[in-house]
Amino acid sequence: MWYTPRMLSETDSDFASATAELLQSTSRYLILVTGGVYLTWHVLATVGWPDELGLQTWLVSLTLVPAYALALYLISRHFLIAQMIWLAGLAVAITFAIYMFQLPEIGFLYSLLPLIAVITLGWPAGVFSEIVITALAWRVLPRLLVWALPTGYPWAIVAGGAFTGLVGWAATRALFTVTRWSLFSFAQARENMERARQHRAQAVQLLKNLDQAYYRLERANAALVAAWKAADEAERFKAEFVTNVSHELRTPLNLIVGFSEMMMTSPESYGGVQLPGPYRSDLNAIYHSARHLLALVDDVLDLARIEVGKIALVREEVDLASLVEEAADIVRDYIAAKGLELRVHVEDGLPALWVDRLRIRQVLLNLLVNAARFTERGWIGVDVSRQGDEVVVRVTDTGRGIPAQDLPKVFEEFRSTEHPISQWHSGTGLGLPISKKFVELHHGRMGVESTYRQGTTFWFTLPCSPTLAVGPRPSHGGRSEPVVRLGASERIIVVVHDDPHVASLLQRYLDGYRVVGVSDWKEAVTLVEDIKPIALMTDDGEVPPSLPDDLLVIRCSLPSGRRVAAALGADDLLVKPVSRQELLAAIDRVGRPVRRVLIADDDPEIVRLFRRMLRPRIPARDCLEAYNGEEALRLVREERPDLVLLDLVMPGTDGQGVLEQMSADPELADIPVIIVSAHAQDHTDFQLSSPIWLSKARGFQLGELVRALEATLGALSPGWQRLSSREPEPAEAPVGSPASASSSPPPTPEPAGAH
């Protein structure tokens, strides 16, 4: 019995025996009383309404009576089993009665189950019973009835069960407390009769000490709860702050990227005036730097995801030599301005790596900028070489080095050396920790070597296992089709969707898989025949029969931007910053002529940027402007534009309010709307409502079915089931160089600067 182990630790065997006897007696009376009530109903129903209720009543009785009889038989032998049989039989009988009589009111009898469970087995059984009746009320009950279940019935059943459970808990708690204290008081009184005079003073003092200790414990618990709440609130505020700041930074970056791109690629937007040549190189640097800064804004959010172990990598086949040269070109002028020499050496014949280009470039830039920041004279070197199954990248400088006691701290967040050696040091202590975590996400290692006042070398490794690569090939129709170069055992998934961003999004979160996207079934069938993928994903219910019989087909809602836009009541969704090509492509997807456009955004510079992007296609006089929701609604009603570019966050009526009012007006509902916002709902937060279907033309083997069930349960089980299966923390990056480095030192001989 659930009460007995706890009670045995606090009282003697007399209390345990009394508790067991009391529970058995209570359960027996409950079984007899409820059984008697039901038998009375059985007699009345079968005698009074034999034609209407007779057969159904007998069928329910055949379900309930055996459970009652077996429970009475086992109650004194196996108490817990008897109670489980009784409660299960009662739940099954109620469910069967609902189905037979088609009366949802019978479901209110479910509310008795938590009361009986609490009284006979304790509050854990009551909680379990409440969970069971919640599932029955919401999942099973609607399917038993031939007509729709009234909306309030499941709520009433669950609330009734909670109420009866609380009543049972209060009653049994008081009963067992009285019993326990009665037996305890009797034994204590009998013992204290002999010692009352000698120990009264000591007992009073002990009682006072216990009261004080209990008071201090209560205060400590209250302080602990307050501290936990404060920490939780601080974590929430931090997440909100990081998200808001990152989104706010997107607006000026959108202007920088947008205008610089327009100046370089669309001179027709400026009346055909060409940009002078000397300006183009600098403007190109501004554009690429702004794009990189925009990616770093996303990294602020990624840092929070790293802390919870969830960050997505966009893997692609990368030529490391070109990536190193690209990073070196970005910082070359900065290094030269400080009078330093930049030496780059890349070993010939390096294999292409399957890595996240942006993340690895960020690691290189962090190390190069760090080296330049802490080096006053000499040179900075980048050496790339292959050692076994790894590629080792070393960034060396001739700065003043890092003291030996500070080397273990350089990869700690918000920590720098205890002896700053540079007057321009202003780092936040995040560059190296983020770089280390990015390398570890690629299954690599990162470390540091330094000799104080001589220099420092930071190194990291990347695995160079063989991969499959996708490249374009011409098709007969003039379009390019994806093709995979064979020669490795990579797991490939083909995604069939008309939105190319879907495949990119899945690639970010399916680490260890290669995602190849195609836009139609003809391309999909051809690609499946060529590359033999392990699965095909689609949100289209119709699958062509020409697919191989052993191909796993997954059908589910895929998180595309258009699906999010449809949920918000719009036709398409673009997340700032938006390039001119993306904007024009979204307008083309509208599928109708667009001659007048309303641009609704609270930032005048964003409106001016969009007008500039649209100028080659739509004259300026046909680009209407609105800076709040009310103005946008007025212009839509008065001017009836062919398209609305709408920001979600605006003063007064926001973008969501504009969409709701347009949908409610039949004259405005057919006007296409494209959402363009930095606060657009993330695909990863959007709830996908359709089911997930797994199918194979030839069927599943038993082993495949079991593994699929294990994977599904592991992914979708409640969080408490996953607490015991946490992944181990990643190993600390070593401070010294990799073992193979000692036998193959870099050409640049000296290590370098404090970081």
pLDDT in tens, 360-387: 998 999 899 889 888 888 999 999 999 9
Residue 359 CA, distance from chain mean position = 20
d(CA 332, CA 334): 5
3-state SS, residue 717 = coil
- On the 0-12 / 13-18 / 19+ scale of CB atoms within 10 A, 46 is middle
Q: What percentage of the chain has pLDDT greater than the value 90?
A: 8
Tell me how far apart the alpha carbons of residues 403 and 662 are, in angstroms, rounded to a whole number: 66
Neighbour tally for 466: CB within 10 Å: 12
Angle, CA of 604, 606 and 612, to the nearest 5° = 105
Q: Tell whether omega for the bond before 482 is within 30 degrees of 0, i.e. cis.
A: no
| DSSP letter assigned to residue 751 | -
Instruction: Give CA–CA dist 429/410, Å, rounded.
Output: 8
Specify the range with the lowest mean pLDDT, choosing from 67-71, 162-166, 194-198, 515-519: 194-198
Task: Name the amino acid, one letter, at 60.
Answer: V
φ, ψ (nearest 5 deg) of residue 364:
-60, -45
pLDDT for position 324? 93
Label residue 46 by pLDDT band (50, 70, 90).
confident
Are 335 and 372 in contact by the 8 Å Cβ rule? The answer is yes
3 state DSSP class of 421: coil
**Cβ-contact 188, 195 below 8 angstroms:** no
Summarize the confidence of residues 333-358 as an average pLDDT: 88
For 478, phi then psi, to 5°, come to 95, -10
Q: How far apart are the C-alpha atoms of 685 and 561, rounded to whole Å?
A: 12
Higher pLDDT, 744 or 397: 397
Q: Crossing angle, helix 79-101 and helix 123-135, to 10 degrees? A: 20
Residue 256's H or E segment, with its range, is helix 196-265
What domains does the chain contain, in order, with CATH numbers? 4-189 (no CATH), 315-463 (3.30.565.10), 494-560+691-716 (no CATH), 564-685 (3.40.50.2300)
User: Using CA atoms in the order 44, 46, 51, 54, what is the torsion angle rounded to 10 degrees?
Assistant: 130
Percent helix, percent strand, percent coil in the chain, to nearest 5: 55, 15, 30
Q: What is the pLDDT of residues 135-173, one digit of tens each?
A: 877 877 777 776 666 777 788 888 887 888 788 788 777
Reply yes or no on whether the pLDDT at 486 is more than 60. Answer: no
For residue 721, the model assigns a pLDDT of: 46
Rounded average pLDDT over 263-268: 70
Distance CA 483, CA 476 (A): 14
CB neighbours of residue 19 within 10 Å: 21
Whether the Cβ atoms of residue 677 and residue 707 lie closer than 8 Å to each other: no
Q: Comparing 50 with 687, which gets the higher pLDDT?
A: 50
The C-alpha angle 685, 687, 688, rounded to 5 degrees, equals 130
How far apart CA 755 and CA 372 sit, in angstroms, is: 10
Burial annotation 254-263 (CB, 10 A radius, 16+ → b, else e): bbbbbbbbbb
Arithmetic mean of pLDDT, 460-464: 91
* Partners of 105 in beta bridges: none
pLDDT single digits (tens) 88-132: 888 888 887 777 777 777 777 778 888 888 877 777 877 888 888
How far apart, in whole angstroms, are the C-alpha atoms of residue 31 and residue 37? 10
Considering only CA atoms, which of 324, 381, 394 is closest in space to residue 353? 324
The answer to whether the Cα torsion of 589, 594, 598, 602 is positive or negative is positive
Q: Each residue of 383-438: pLDDT tens digit?
A: 999 998 899 999 999 988 888 888 888 887 655 544 443 333 334 456 788 888 88
Tokens standing for 252?
């000026």
Q: Mean pLDDT of all residues in the chain?
A: 76
* C-beta separation of 46 from 60 below 8 A: no
Q: pLDDT tens digit string along 531-557? A: 888 898 888 667 887 888 888 888 887
HSE-up of 116 (CA within 13 Å, CB side)?
24
Give the type of residue at 10: E
| CA–CA separation, 395 and 431 (whole Å) | 15
